[in-house]
Amino acid sequence: MAMLPPPVPGQVSAPVAPRPPRSKLRWVTLACAVGLIAWVGGFAGALLGGEVADLLDKPPTRPSDEPLDVASPRPGFETRLDVAQVSQFVAPSTVTVSADIGRGVSLGTGVIISSEGEILTNAHVVDGATEIRVRLAGETEPREVNLLASDVGNDLALLRMAGDGFEAATFADPTSVRIGDEVVAIGFALGLDGDPSVTLGIVSALNRSVGQGDVFLDGLIQTDAAISSGNSGGPLVNAAGEVVGINTAVARDTTVFTATNVGFAISVEEALPIVETLRLAAQGIEREEAFLGVGLEDRIDGGQGVIVTGVEPGTPAEEVGVTVGDLIVAVDGAATDGSSGLIAAIRDKSPGDEVTVAIVRDTEAIELDVTLTARPG
């Protein structure tokens, strides 16, 4: 038992306060502990709540599993397109896209394709971007988005913003797109302030092909609706406000050719399956491109087909006997009018797919069944 020290001579000892009962000490200690725990818990909860709120505001990194809205086939349109009505109908599904690339900003347009914030645009608009933002109709501030997946070869990219309840565009049935249909191109041409630009035209041609660099597009819609820089990734829509294509390119004047009102949109027939491959790619399931193994050269005499200038050893083309000088005129019954179209048609296939290649060799028509492999590299 502890003893108190003896009093020092000449000092008066102060009275010693009696100790509280042990039971009271326990309750005081317990109350302090509970208070401390509650304070720490509240502080941690506030921090965690803030982090959760920040997390919820961040754009998702995974795609939606919401089915795309595709309209039923249409027999045609009996009345002319009402530009004001159509543009007003599509406006909530059209966004402006701005991407920081290097020291500059790339501007384009996008289409909301799901109520959960997925946006479709051109890959060349966001290629190499360090940050991407979109601005919705009627809003003044941009929203941050994530790039889920990009297909540079087909010039389409899938973005997603946070939130839900967005108004998704309706795609036209691929069989409902016809030459002569009136269409409007909607987009933020030249990045001009305010509402998007709207231009009226018709479907001038179907199944066009263009190629440049690593981008080879086929199944394109040609239109005379004016398409300018900033329109890229925006919708080309019909009289019902259904998206028939994604505006992607415009023919330009050169020293050899003159172009007037010749624009191109990735057709809904091409875009719909690409969206699904982009969703898979966003989940880590990359699509392999198919490979034939030939060198090509376009004809300059005005005839149809593509000239084979080389056959790589050990490739599907060599295995079935394709030779230099053969003229490839069709793949699976679809006519081949240029090297861009043939390359795009093969790339759209998957390794292991079997295609029928129609060739002309010394005036003899030959059909070869080829099993494609994966593109090297």
Assess whether pLDDT exceeds 70 at residue 28. Answer: no
- Identify the domain boundary among 268, 302, 332: 268
Query: Catalytic annotation on 98?
Result: no
Is pLDDT larger for residue 20 or for residue 325? 325
Q: Is 295 a domain residue?
A: yes
Q: 317 — phi, psi (to 5°)?
A: -60, -45
Q: Tell me, what's the pLDDT at 255?
A: 55
* Same domain, residue pair 180 and 263: yes
**131: its two tokens:** 């940050």
The verdict on pTM exceeding 0.75 is yes
Taking only the tens place, the pLDDT of each residue in 280-323 is 999 999 888 899 999 999 888 888 889 999 999 999 999 999 99
Q: Within a domain: residue 1?
A: no
pLDDT of amino acid 49: 41
Query: Does residue 344 form part of some domain?
Result: yes
Please give the distance of CA 1 from its chain centroid, rounded to a whole number.
81
Tens of pLDDT, residue by residue over 310-364, are: 999 999 999 999 999 999 999 988 888 788 888 888 888 889 999 999 999 998 9
**Is residue 110 a part of any domain in this protein?**
no
Per-residue pLDDT band at 18 (split at 50, 70, 90): low
Same domain, 329 and 363: yes
Q: Structurally, how many domains does the chain consist of? A: 2
Residues 308 and 245 in one domain: no
End-of-domain residue from the set 211, 234, 268: 268
% of the chain surpassing 70 pLDDT: 82
Q: For 179, phi and psi rounded to 5 degrees?
A: -60, 135
Is pLDDT at 89 greater than 60 in this prediction? yes
What value does the mean pLDDT take over residues 164-185?
96
Q: Is residue 27 very low, low, confident or very high in pLDDT (cuts 50, 70, 90)?
A: low
In a domain, 347, yes or no: yes
Q: What is the CATH number of the domain that holds 369?
A: 2.30.42.10
Residue 3 confidence (pLDDT) above 50: no
Which of 93, 106, 114, 155 is flagged as catalytic?
155
Q: What is the CATH number of the domain that holds 208?
A: 2.40.10.10
Task: Please indicate whether residue 155 is annotated as part of the active site.
Answer: yes
Check pLDDT > 70 for residue 135: yes
The answer to whether residue 105 sits within a structural domain is: no
Inform me whether the pLDDT recorded for 5 exceeds 80. Answer: no
Q: Say yes or no: 303 and 246 in one domain.
A: no
237 and 299 together in one domain? no
Active site residue 232: yes
Looking only at the bridges linking them, the beta strands covering 235-237 and 143-151 are unpaired
Residue 247: band (very low, low, confident or very high) from pLDDT cuts 50, 70, 90: very high
User: Which entry of 64, 106, 176, 232 is annotated as an active-site residue?
Assistant: 232
| Angstrom distance (rounded) from CA 369 to CA 356 | 5
Distance (Å, whole) CA 277 – CA 116: 18
Q: Which of 98, 39, 73, 95 is nearest to 242 (CA)?
A: 73
pLDDT at 32 over 60: no
Of 106, 124, 224, 340, the active-site residue reads: 124
Range of the domain at 211: 176-268
Q: Is residue 251 part of a domain?
A: yes
103 inside domain: no
